[in-house]
Chain A
């Protein structure tokens, strides 16, 4: 909170002081906190509902829990976790999402560097094409891709190993094509590229030219400039990309639905959707399952948040 301003020798009344504070700093807090409250309500409704009894949800509003605060149950969560395959699906989601987040960002940053700082014929036309591909509906591409994948699926399998203490298996499935984690990584990489190239090209292009020229004159190669200058300066935007790509892959239903038929390989979203199918409109189960699926993306967000808060770019350019 801002310190209260001392503006005159006479002791100001509380009201005047308060109004002055409101005019100078207070409005920032009022506006921000109102938006924060407004934005949290739906999530709060979801959280509260996931702890309520099914009959309560259907008959009274969530705000009634404040009148009766200890009437909670964890039965919904127990129910969801006991539902077959939820833990295995959680592991599968991690196996799918981590490579499918890092690969597109690496591949896209190479391309973005070329688009931003190299001259070659057809550069604008190619970049235009990448931007245009942002609009291609994913659904449209799945039929040709599925046909290609069916033809390319080998007999060989990806090695898998069992987790010792927690249970469950990591890996498995075909080496490529349908029912393959590798096939899914490649597909998600391709689908993530247009946005990643677009965003990174913009940030790389906005870096000051002097930086590149002096490094180039000092005899630095493209690879050196890319890894030593461009990537370190792009911390905040790469953190943002990691978060979004992670979210999109983690929340993907469509691609997994088409390319993974084997239930042993199903990610969480597929399992939750099946839960919706088999348990109809039972809000308490769906809200609990949704909350379990939110934990990892939120963890990633909190882990990377400091990159935005610190502002790496401002610091390095100054030095």
Chain B
């Protein structure tokens, strides 16, 4: 659009830029500076903090490399399932009369604070199958299988949050006890809690997007003889794709920051540490601001590819409209 004075956009942006500058940009720059300083941020140490992260010689601190891999697992599995289930529910719920009830049911976990979340899920994952819901279900299934003559590991309860073995050992002794990297039972159990908690988020935003699809388009497709799957695949998903990308981007960024859930459920023990819990422990428990800040900078570097993709997409949107 034309005919606007040059300073008008800056007027619209001013409150945002001032607030972001004071509360987020300045602290970030300060952190980058501290990542090159020593424990108490007093003297220059060059790249020592980064070298510490890469070599990670301290046995008391969880392995940085496994924390990075755990973040990658969160990023892929959590995002994939949360978006897929959220989209599925948004589409399905839009087609039934009890849409409001269905959405409310999926949304309720979002209203649970992480303090309560940790209480309820430690209770759900409780080892004692007399009171732990998940183990009650798995041991019950194991008992049924044994009755029909199939032996499985299911008849024994699993320590869901402590066991860092490979997932198939829940069912059977076949296969390796440990898988490389982050494929651990306890990581899967934590990610399940995350999915349960966050699906309401994707569902609501995708549903807001779904409502913007004109019903005339859908009716026209139905009149032309398209079946429901074709409508979903060829109309709903393409129209919704900008929203899906925004939601996925937000979730991926959230998973980089995953902290609360891991911290309250396992405290990062049993190889469930992620970069944010390492950062918190270094900076606020051990009190080493240098290494803590360097870990935070690593987190920030992770987001660069996401930023590049985001900006490309917005340029594309600009061209086609």
Contacts and interface: CB of A to CB of B under 8 A. Distances in A.
A145 B23 CA distance: 6
Interface string B109-123: 111111110011101
Interface stretch (B144-152, B174-182, B250-258): B250-258
Contacts of A150: none
Interface in A166-194: 186-187, 189-191, 193-194
Given A39-B196, A301-B111, A313-B211, A243 B204 contact: yes
Contacts of B119: 46, 276, 283, 286-287, 290
Query: Among B23, B110, B257, B317, which residue has the most Cβ atoms of chain A within 10 A?
Result: B23
Contacts of B25: 129, 133
A60 B4 CA distance: 70
B92 interface: yes
A144 B283 CA distance: 14
Interface stretch (A70-78, A94-102, A135-143): A135-143
B267 to A, nearest CB: 14
A205 B89 CA distance: 26
A28 B92 contact: yes
A114 B26 CA distance: 23
Interface string A108-147: 1011011101111001101111111111111111111100
Q: Interface residues of B toward A: which range?
A: 35 or more
Given A32-B93, A124-B311, A43 B30 contact: no
A143 B154 CA distance: 48
Interface in A40-91: 40-43, 45-46, 49, 57-63
Contact of B253 (A32, A60, A134, A310): A134
Contacts of B256: 135
Nearest to A46: B120
A272 B15 contact: no
A140 B105 contact: no
B133 A62 contact: yes
B120 A301 contact: no
Contact of B24 (A190, A208, A309): A190
Interface in A249-276: 250-251, 253, 269, 272-273, 276
Given A61-B133, A132-B307, A139-B283, A43 B112 contact: yes
A136 B113 contact: no
Interface stretch (A5-13, A14-22, A233-241): A233-241
B215 A314 contact: yes
Interface in B290-306: 293, 296, 299-300, 302-304, 306
A128 B30 CA distance: 20
A300 to B, nearest CB: 9
A127 B115 contact: no
A133 B212 CA distance: 28
B130 interface: yes
A228 interface: no
Interface stretch (B5-13, B61-69, B155-163): B5-13
Interface string B203-234: 01101101111111000000000000000000
Nearest to A117: B1
A136 B300 contact: yes
Query: Among B12, B210, B246, which residue has the most Cβ atoms of chain A within 10 A?
Result: B12
Looking at chain B's contact residues, is the secondary structure mostly helix, strand, loop, or mixed?
helix
Interface residues of A, number: 112
Given A118-B1, A240-B205, A253-B115, A206 B242 contact: yes
Nearest to B246: A202
Given A39-B196, A198-B246, A247-B110, A187 B23 contact: yes
A305 B212 contact: no
Given A40-B105, A144-B27, A290-B115, A318 B85 contact: no
B113 A290 contact: yes
Interface string B270-309: 0000001001100110000000010010011011101100
B115 A272 contact: yes
Given A118-B8, A198-B250, A29 B96 contact: yes
Which 3 residue pairs across A and B have the least CB separation, nearest first?
A: A311-B211, A290-B116, A190-B23
Given A145-B27, A293-B113, 14 more contacts: A32-B92, A42-B124, A43-B108, A107-B19, A126-B17, A133-B24, A133-B25, A136-B24, A136-B300, A244-B110, A253-B114, A272-B115, A293-B116, A308-B204
Interface of A: 28-29, 31-32, 35-36, 39-43, 45-46, 49, 57-63, 107-108, 110-111, 113-115, 117-120, 123-124, 126-145, 148, 186-187, 189-191, 193-195, 197-199, 201-202, 205-206, 208-209, 212-213, 216, 222, 236-237, 239-240, 243-244, 247, 250-251, 253, 269, 272-273, 276, 283, 286-287, 289-290, 293-294, 297-298, 301-302, 305-306, 308-314, 317-318
13 contacts: A31-B92, A46-B112, A114-B9, A120-B10, A130-B16, A137-B259, A139-B259, A148-B22, A206-B321, A216-B1, A287-B116, A302-B104, A317-B214
